[in-house]
């Protein structure tokens, strides 16, 4: 997989899009709706590892009633996503440049309605399951911030990560629905938005796996 080249002038370019992100996002813990100018009953959706922002910008545009927060740890990639959202003038999409390993510092109990994990790094070759974003230690953190009745939507190209994740979701008490190992040839594809990586894998003829883990 080709890596993105480090972008030039990242601080200046981020500054130009400052209304899409916060200097100290941890201060929004427990008050994301207020900090972003939304009412207390607004659903909050969180995407972790949003990449260059195709999915989050399309989701935010489709769901103006939702406050959508996208988290990404790579700064060049975050910039690409932030600039995309800025160009589209999306008012309901905000970004956190940060690591999911510290997610409990950003969100309070019951603050999130839905989490999206799309094509998370599989960590298979390195055999480091504890780094997977569906490892049980991550899921336990997500459970604290997810409302009861909330859900995690998970998509991947990787069979090993998918099988691992199904086990981890079950182990952590999630109920699994909407499971498919061939998303693009399933009924769920009607409402599916493809991510950048999803399109690349589909072009290579790889079946996309998808499941919803309900809390
Ligand atoms: C394989 S890419 C997928 C990008 C995008 N979701 C897509 O489907 O096109 C995984 C992304 O997750 C980000 N990522 C990986 N681990 C992360 C973590 N612990 N916290 C935040 N972002 C992470 C990476 O920087 C990368 O941009």
CATH number at residue 116: 3.40.50.150
Could you give the number of structural domains in the chain? 1
pLDDT at position 175 = 98
In a domain, 1, yes or no: no
> For residue range 65-83, what is the model confidence (pLDDT) as tens digits?
999 999 999 999 999 999 9
Q: Which atom belonging to ligand 1 lies closest to the Cα atom of 71?
A: 21
pLDDT at position 138 = 98
Provide the pLDDT confidence category of residue 3 given band limits of 50, 70 and 90. low
> For residue range 142-172, what is the model confidence (pLDDT) as tens digits?
999 999 999 999 999 999 999 999 999 999 9
Whether residue 122 has its Cβ less than 6 Å from ligand 1: no
In a domain, 11, yes or no: no
189 is catalytic: no
In a domain, 34, yes or no: no
Provide the pLDDT confidence category of residue 126 given band limits of 50, 70 and 90. confident
In a domain, 46, yes or no: yes
In a domain, 31, yes or no: no
Domain that holds residue 113: 42-214
Whether residue 60 has its Cβ less than 6 Å from ligand 1: no
pLDDT at position 2 = 55
Chain centroid to CA 96: 11
Chain centroid to CA 168: 18
In a domain, 175, yes or no: yes
Probe ligand 1: pick from 73, 81, 135, 210, max atoms within 8 Å of CB?
Answer: 73
User: 38: how many CB neighbours lie within 10 A of its CB?
Assistant: 17
In a domain, 13, yes or no: no
pLDDT at position 8 = 79
Whether residue 49 has its Cβ less than 6 Å from ligand 1: yes
In a domain, 19, yes or no: no
Annotated catalytic residue within 99, 110, 113, 121: 121
pLDDT at position 6 = 73
pLDDT at position 210 = 98
Q: Which residue is associated with the tokens 């490892």? A: 135
Q: Is 119 exposed, middle or buried (0-12, 13-18, 19+ CB in 10 A)?
A: buried
């Amino acid at each position: 997989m080709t890596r993105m080249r480090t972008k030039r002038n990242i601080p200046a370019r981020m500054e130009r899009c400052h209304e899409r992100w916060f200097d100290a996002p941890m201060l929004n813990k427990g008050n994301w709706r207020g900090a972003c100018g939304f009412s207390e009953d607004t659903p909050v959706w969180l995407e972790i590892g949003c990449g260059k922002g195709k999915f989050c910008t399309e989701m935010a545009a489709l769901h103006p009633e939702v406050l959508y927060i996208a988290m990404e740890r790579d700064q060049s990639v975050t910039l690409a996503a932030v600039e995309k959202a800025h160009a589209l003038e999306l008012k309901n999409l905000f970004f956190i440049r940060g690591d999911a390993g510290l997610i409990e510092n950003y969100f309070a109990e019951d603050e999130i309605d839905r989490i999206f994990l799309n094509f998370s790094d599989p960590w298979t070759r390195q055999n480091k399951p504890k780094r997977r974003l569906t490892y049980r230690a991550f899921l336990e953190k997500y459970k604290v911030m997810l409302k009861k009745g909330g859900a995690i939507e998970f998509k991947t190209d990787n069979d090993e990560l998918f099988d691992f994740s199904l086990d981890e979701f079950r182990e952590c008490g999630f109920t699994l629905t909407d499971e498919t190992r061939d998303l693009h040839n399933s009924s769920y594809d009607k409402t599916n938005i493809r991510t950048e990586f999803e399109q690349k894998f589909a072009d290579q003829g790889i079946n996309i796996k998808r499941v919803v883990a309900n809390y």
